[in-house]
């Protein structure tokens, strides 16, 4: 596809011994191909800089001359990441690190042994830069000096290709209806999934919403709970997808709704909100980083009164002009701070990563 901008740096993303195969983004994010990981989440840092995604440290080192730095993901088994970081630093590579699962709850769950904590502490010492894709900073542990830790730390949101027309999943406004629940699982408490489903039932009654769609990812147990909750809704309103969908099918479903609602308070980067940006729709009710950035009028950290939330939702449900204006506002914010080009330039202006002339 056409190159829309010249990235100031070229970044490799490495998930050492991970499950996602090598992907080359030397020509940017191509249009979606089924079975290939979309350029979202951590893949997006590579795609935004015309870099590449690796699962092998040796493979990266064989191609290292192409890249200005490597972004290494800290995995649950932190010692695997440490092994990769040691090898890379020994070879003189500029290394950035970030948690692959990076909410406060996820990090706490992963640092559940002395071995994990010790390895993480050494990773912080060895890394040239520490990236937080959320506004909830990772913990400082080990012997790294506090001032040095903060000098290495930088917030850079996960980018989304809103600046690439091939990643526009939008549906005409007059073909959109109802609410899609953004969360999918009951077992993670900070997702507040059951609360979101129950709140959506109240919205459906209050505003005569014809459909509320939910995707089940909790197998038979989750489906049983959703069937029980179905009676909370107006008859025939709740539409249940019994299993998760492939990404293009999910995006088509998402974009056919008036807006997406969730009550996720898990301090995650915000993939659901990012998907909403690509679908040119609204994400409401949660407090992920991208929600807070791109949808400030609709994000909710749990302190906003329900009456105020309902008033905001009522406006975008019944007023097309207000709805379109809200979407345009979120797109303007995204282009400035979350788009591929904007994040590539944020990386390129960071002295740790800055291309050496």
Q: Is residue 83 part of a domain?
A: yes
Q: Are 288 and 270 in contact (CB under 8 A)?
A: yes
CATH number where 17 lies: 3.40.50
Radius of gyration (C-alpha) of the chain in whole angstroms: 21
Domain with 285 in it: what CATH number?
3.40.50.2000
Structure tokens at 167: 């990643």
By the 10 Å C-beta count (0-12 exposed, 13-18 middle, 19+ buried), 92 is classed as exposed
| 176 and 260 together in one domain | yes
**Rounded Cα–Cα distance for residues 103 and 340 (Å):** 23
> Do 138 and 214 belong to one domain?
no
Q: Residue 69: which domain range?
A: 11-159+339-348
Q: Within a domain: residue 1?
A: no
* In a domain? residue 130: yes
Report, as ranges of residue numbers, the positions in the chain whose pLDDT lies below 70.
Answer: 1-3, 31-32, 356-357
Has residue 2 been placed in a domain? no
Residue 117, φ and ψ in degrees, nearest 5: -65, -45
- Same domain assignment for residues 200 and 266: yes
Residue 3 lies in a domain: no
- Residue 267's φ and ψ, nearest 5 degrees, are 50, 40
pLDDT of residue 189: 92
* 355 in a structural domain: no
Strand partners, 130: 97, 153
**Are residue 321 and residue 343 in the same domain, yes or no?**
no
Rounded Cα gap, residues 224 and 213, in angstroms: 16
For the chain, how many structural domains are there in total?
A: 2
Q: Are residues 98 and 219 in the same domain?
A: no
Regarding whether 63 and 113 lie in a shared domain, the answer is yes
Does residue 251 share a domain with residue 210? yes
Cβ atoms 177, 212 nearer than 8 A: no
Whether residue 324 is found in the same domain as residue 177: yes
Whether 196 maps to a domain, the answer reads yes
Can you spell out the DSSP letters for 242-262? SS---HHHHHHHHHTSSEEE-
What is the model's pLDDT at position 27? 85
Q: What pLDDT score was predicted for residue 306?
A: 75
Residues 180 and 291 in one domain: yes
Length of the chain: 357
Q: Is 118 in the same domain as 23?
A: yes
Q: Which of 253, 292, 252, 209 is nearest to 32 (CA)?
A: 252
pTM: 0.95
Q: How far, in Å, CA of 104 to CA of 137, rounded? A: 8
What per-residue confidence (pLDDT) applies to 356? 63
pLDDT of residue 177: 96
Residue 83 exposed, middle or buried by CB count within 10 Å (0-12, 13-18, 19+): middle
Q: 318 and 173, same structural domain? A: yes
* 216, 332: one domain: yes
């Amino acid at each position: 596809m056409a190159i829309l901008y010249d990235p100031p740096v070229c970044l490799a993303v490495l998930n050492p011994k991970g499950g996602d195969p090598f992907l080359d983004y030397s020509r940017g994010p191509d249009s979606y191909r089924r079975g290939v990981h979309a350029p979202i989440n951590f893949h997006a840092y590579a795609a935004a800089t015309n870099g590449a995604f690796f699962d092998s440290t040796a493979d990266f080192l064989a191609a290292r001359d192409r890249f200005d730095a490597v972004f290494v993901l800290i995995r649950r088994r932190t010692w695997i990441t440490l092994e990769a970081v040691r090898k890379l630093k020994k070879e003189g590579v500029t290394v950035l690190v970030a948690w692959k699962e990076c909410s406060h709850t996820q990090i706490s769950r992963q640092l559940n042994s002395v071995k994990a904590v010790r390895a993480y502490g050494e990773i912080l010492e060895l890394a040239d830069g520490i990236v937080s894709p959320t506004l909830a900073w990772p913990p400082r542990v080990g012997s790294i000096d506090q001032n040095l830790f903060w000098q290495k730390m930088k917030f850079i949101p996960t980018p989304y290709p809103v600046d690439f027309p091939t990643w526009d999943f939008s549906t005409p406004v007059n073909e959109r209806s109802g609410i899609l629940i953004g969360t999918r699982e009951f077992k993670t408490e900070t997702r507040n999934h059951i609360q979101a489903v129950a709140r959506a039932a109240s919205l459906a009654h209050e505003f005569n919403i014809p459909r509320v769609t939910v995707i089940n990812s909790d197998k038979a147990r989750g489906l049983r709970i959703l069937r029980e909750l179905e009676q909370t809704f107006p008859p025939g309103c709740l539409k249940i997808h019994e299993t998760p969908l492939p990404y293009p099918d999910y995006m088509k479903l998402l974009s056919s709704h008036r807006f997406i609602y969730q009550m996720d308070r898990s301090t995650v980067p915000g993939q659901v909100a990012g998907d909403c940006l690509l679908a040119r729709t609204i994400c409401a009710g949660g407090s992920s980083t991208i929600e807070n950035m791109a949808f400030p009028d609709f994000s909710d950290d749990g302190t906003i009164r329900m009456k105020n939330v309902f008033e905001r939702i009522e406006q975008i449900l019944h007023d097309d002009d207000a709805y379109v204006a809200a979407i345009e506002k979120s797109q303007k914010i995204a282009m400035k701070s979350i788009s591929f080009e904007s994040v590539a330039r944020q990386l390129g202006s960071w002295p740790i990563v800055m291309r050496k002339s």
